[in-house]
Amino acid sequence: LAFYVNKVYVQRLKENAEQINMQMLVSEISHDFVSANEQNFDDKVYRMLERCGNFIKSDRAYIALLEPGEGRIHYSSEWLA
C-alpha cells in the first residue's frame, strides 16, 4: 500500500510541475505579445511557435488557417528546429 501511495504522490508532483511550466509558458507568451506592434509581430509569432514547439519537444510548429468555404488550409507561420 505504501508503494502505491508513494507512486501516486510522485505522479501528482510531476503533473503539478508540468502544469506550472505550461502556465509559465502561457504567461511569458502573453507578456511578450503585450508589446507587439506591426514591426515585430512576425518575430513574436515565430518566438511563440519556437517556445511551444520546444515545450512539447517538437521539431516544428505551425499556425494553420482553415478557409471554411473552400475547405483549404493556409499555413501563415511556421517554426522549424
Instruction: Give the pLDDT of residue 38.
Output: 95
Number of domains present in the structure of the chain: 1
- Predicted structure pTM score: 0.78
- φ, ψ for residue 41, nearest 5 deg: -60, -45
pLDDT score for 6: 94
Domain enclosing residue 8, as ranges: 2-80
Per-residue pLDDT of the chain (81 residues; tens, 9 = 90+): 899 999 999 999 999 999 999 999 999 999 999 999 999 999 999 999 999 999 999 999 999 999 888 889 999 999 999
CA 53 to CA 8: how far, in whole Å?
29
What single-letter amino acid sits at 51?
A: R
